[in-house]
Amino acid sequence: MTSYYRNAIDDPPLLRAAFTTMAVTFIGLFLLLPLVTVFWQALGGGLDAVWDAITSHDALMAIRLTLLTAVITVPLNLVFGISAAWAIAKFDFHGKSLLTTLIDLPFSVSPVVAGLVYVLMFGLQGWLGPWLRDHDVKIIFALPGIVLATLFVTVPFVARELIPLMTDQGRAEEEAAISLGASGWSTFWRVTLPNIKWGLLYGVLLCNARAMGEFGAVSVVSGHINGLTNTMPLQVEVLYNDYEYVSAFAVASLLAFLALVTLVLKSFLEWQYADEIAATHRH
C-alpha cells in the first residue's frame, strides 16, 4: 500500500513496526500471559473445584474482609484526597511542598515498612501497645490494623489524580462563583466538584483496586489467622504455601477478575461520557 499523505513527524515504517512489535510483545509476555495463566490454572480442576474453593468458609471470610476494608478505606481516601488536592491546588500556605511530598511517601516507601510502623506503634511491644491491651482495644492482628495499613498504602491515589487537574483549572471559576454570591459550600458542590468528578472517579477506582489488592503492608499487621484476618491476597498466599494450587488460583482469579471489572468500568465511563470529560478540561 502506498500512502499519499505523509506527516512531518511520520517515522519510517520499519521503525514504527519495530516499536509496535516491542510494545505488544512486552505487554503480551509480561502482563497478559500471566493473567491468562491465573485463570487457566484456576479452571484446570474444573468449574466445580473453583466454586468449592471460593465458597469455602475461609475464602468467603477473606472476601468479606477484603470488601469491608475497601468500603472503609476508599471513602476515607475520597475525603482526604479532595481536601488535600483542594488545599494544594487552590491555596498558598506554608508547608505546601512538604505536604505534596508527604502524599507521595507511600509510593516510595516499601509497604512492609508501612506495616511495621503500625506494629511498632500499636503492637504489644509498641508505644501504645500496653495502653491498648489494658483498654481491650485490638488494632494489630485485627480489622483496624488492616484498615490502617491499607489506608497508608492507598493515600496518594485520589489526591495524586486531582492535584494536577485542579491546579490546571485554577481558581477563577471559584472566584466567579463567590463574587456571584455563592457560599463556599455551594461553590464546592456546584462548581468545584462537577469539574473534577471524572478525575475523582478515576482516582477512586484505582484506589479501590489497590485497597483490595494490597499484600505487603496488610501481611505484616494481619497475623494470618485463617477465616479471621486473612484478606484475599493473603488467602492466596496461604493456600499456595499449603500446596492447594487450585484453590489458590481460584481466589487469585477472583481477585484478578475484580481488578478487570474496575478497568472495564473505567473504560466504559470514559467512552460513555467522552464529550463531557473533554468539556471539563480547559477549552
Partner 1 sequence: MPLAVDSIRKRFGTYPALEGISFTAPQGAFIALLGPSGSGKTTLLRILGGLEFPDDGFVRFADLNWLTVPVRERRVGFVFQHYALFRHMTVAKNIAFGLAVQSRRERPTRQKIKQRVEELLSLVQLDGLGGRYPSQLSGGQRQRVALARALAIEPRMLLLDEPFGALDAKVRRELRGWLRGLQERLGITTVFVTHDQEEAFALADLVVVMNKGKIEQYGIPADVLRVPQTRFVADFLGGGIVGSPHK
Q: Does 82 bind partner 1 (CB under 8 A)?
A: no
Question: Binding residues for partner 1, how many (CB under 8 A)?
Answer: 21
> Burial letters for 227-239: b for 16+ Cβ neighbours within 10 Å, e otherwise?
eebbbbbbbbbbb
Q: Does 186 bind partner 1 (CB under 8 A)?
A: yes
Q: How far is CA 226 from CA 51, 121, 215, 278, in A?
A: 19, 24, 15, 48
Q: Does 143 bind partner 1 (CB under 8 A)?
A: no
Least distance to partner 1 from the beta carbon of 187, Å?
8
Q: Which of 103, 177, 217, 239 binds partner 1 (CB under 8 A)?
A: 177
Cell 470488601, located at residue: 67
Taking contact as CB under 8 A, which single stretch among the options 17-25, 149-157, 188-196, 219-227 is the one that binds partner 1?
A: 188-196
Evaluate whether 157 touches 206 at the Cβ level (below 8 Å). yes
3-state secondary structure 32-98: HHHHHHHHHHHHCCCHHHHHHHHCCHHHHHHHHHHHHHHHHHHHHHHHHHHHHHHHHHHCCCCCHHH
Q: Does 241 bind partner 1 (CB under 8 A)?
A: no
Q: Which of 50, 158, 163, 191 binds partner 1 (CB under 8 A)?
A: 191
Q: Which of 194, 261, 264, 274 binds partner 1 (CB under 8 A)?
A: 194
Q: Does 98 bind partner 1 (CB under 8 A)?
A: no
Q: Does 121 bind partner 1 (CB under 8 A)?
A: no
Taking the C-alpha atoms of residue 73 and residue 66, their distance in angstroms, rounded to an integer, is 11
Q: For partner 1, which is the closer residue by CB, 173 or 244?
A: 173
Cβ neighbours of residue 146 closer than 8 Å, sequence gap 6 or more: 65, 69, 218, 221, 222, 229, 231
Q: Which of 3, 7, 108, 179 binds partner 1 (CB under 8 A)?
A: 179
Q: Which of 43, 87, 143, 178 binds partner 1 (CB under 8 A)?
A: 178
Residues that bind partner 1 (CB under 8 A): 172-173, 175-183, 186, 190-191, 194-195, 276, 278-280, 283
